[in-house]
């Protein structure tokens, strides 16, 4: 967590922890992009892609962006040296090999991505095609395995938000080298509409949820929760720790549900979800036991 510069809007700042950090770490850390190198970005008009184009230019690279017809001018305005309309041209054929290929879409095979890269080039895979069994994990797993046997370096992307990277991105924004692209801002009550827009796969830049203007109000405290709020400091600390642990468990449940919805039950077996599910059951029992002892002590 870092301080937001006053000159940076809240909407722009909201784009940095996820999309900005992902683009930065993919190019700088995973690919090791250097000044003078040629990089191809598949999905250059999306949330991460629009960041990646600008960050690659700030690193001194020559950038080729791949996008749809409606996004060509946007990607060019971000500083891309050349733009490929995927409906008109196949970036994996007939072009000079690239030093770095960054795939942010997952709509191409690993073979075609490798074909676009040079003999000693780097391919960074951020996602994969949706599938019946393991969905985007298939392409990522393929890159992990084949990377051991080919001359090219095949990297998979797992971004990690750290404060130094957020500071770096904020400074890029203040210098004018990076401008987060926000297609639309929704109030919290219209989150479902925002997600539906994202699912079309044709969003230019990011979609932002504005919590500040929301009319949502928290539900009133129940009698039991009111007792907990009025309890001793030690009990409050205990409850805070419970909330934190339960929050982590809920996040894990949400991730597992997403994977189940995208790839089916077999995916949970492949990634070994058993320990997480056991943790959920243990946490639930522990939470009920703590609540019982807490309210008994208050009485």
The edge-to-edge listing of strands for the beta sheet with 98-103 is 82-85, 62-67, 38-42, 98-103, 117-125, 153-156
d(C-alpha 21, C-alpha 124), whole Å = 15
User: Helices marked H in 2-136 — which ranges?
Assistant: 10-15, 21-24, 47-58, 72-77, 110-116
pLDDT on residue 251: 53
| Domain residue spans of the chain | 10-175, 223-298
Query: For 156-202, how does the pLDDT look when each residue is reduced to its tens digit (9 = 90+)?
Result: 888 888 999 999 999 999 999 999 999 899 988 888 888 888 888 77
Query: For 261-275, how does the pLDDT look when each residue is reduced to its tens digit (9 = 90+)?
Result: 555 555 444 444 455
d(C-alpha 232, C-alpha 86), whole Å = 62
Q: Please provide the CATH number assigned to the domain covering 10-175.
A: 3.40.50.720
3-state helix, strand, coil in the chain (%, to 5): 50, 15, 35
Which pTM value belongs to this model?
0.68
Average pLDDT, the chain: 77
Query: For 90-122, how does the pLDDT look when each residue is reduced to its tens digit (9 = 90+)?
Result: 998 888 999 999 999 888 888 899 999 988 899
């Amino acid at each position: 967590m870092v301080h937001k510069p006053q000159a940076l809007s809240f909407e722009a700042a909201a784009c940095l922890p996820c999309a900005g950090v992902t683009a930065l770490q993919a190019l700088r850390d995973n690919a090791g992009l250097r000044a003078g190198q040629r990089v191809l970005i598949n999905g250059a008009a999306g949330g991460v892609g629009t960041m990646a184009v600008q960050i690659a230019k700030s690193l001194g690279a020559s950038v080729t962006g791949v996008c749809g017809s409606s996004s060509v001018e946007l990607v060019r305005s971000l500083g891309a040296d050349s733009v490929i309309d995927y409906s008109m041209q196949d970036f994996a054929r007939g072009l000079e090999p690239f030093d770095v290929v960054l795939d942010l879409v997952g709509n191409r095979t690993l073979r075609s991505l490798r074909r676009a890269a040079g003999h000693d080039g780097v391919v960074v895979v951020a996602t994969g095609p949706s599938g019946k069994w393991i969905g985007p994990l298939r392409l990522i797993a393929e890159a992990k395995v084949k990377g051991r046997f080919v001359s090219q370096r095949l990297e998979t992307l797992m971004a990690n938000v750290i404060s130094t990277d957020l500071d770096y991105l904020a400074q890029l924004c203040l210098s004018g080298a990076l401008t987060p692209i926000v297609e639309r801002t929704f109030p919290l009550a219209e989150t479902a509409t925002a997600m539906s827009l994202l699912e079309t796969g044709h969003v230019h830049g990011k979609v932002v949820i504005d919590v500040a203007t929301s009319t949502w109000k928290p539900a009133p405290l129940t009698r039991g929760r009111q007792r907990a709020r009025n309890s001793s400091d030690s009990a409050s600390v205990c409850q805070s720790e419970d909330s934190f642990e339960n929050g982590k468990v809920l996040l894990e449940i949400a991730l597992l549900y997403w994977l189940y919805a995208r790839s089916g039950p077999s995916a949970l077996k492949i990634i070994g979800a058993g320990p997480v599910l056991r943790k959920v059951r243990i946490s639930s029992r522990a939470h009920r036991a703590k609540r019982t002892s807490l309210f008994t002590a208050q009485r």
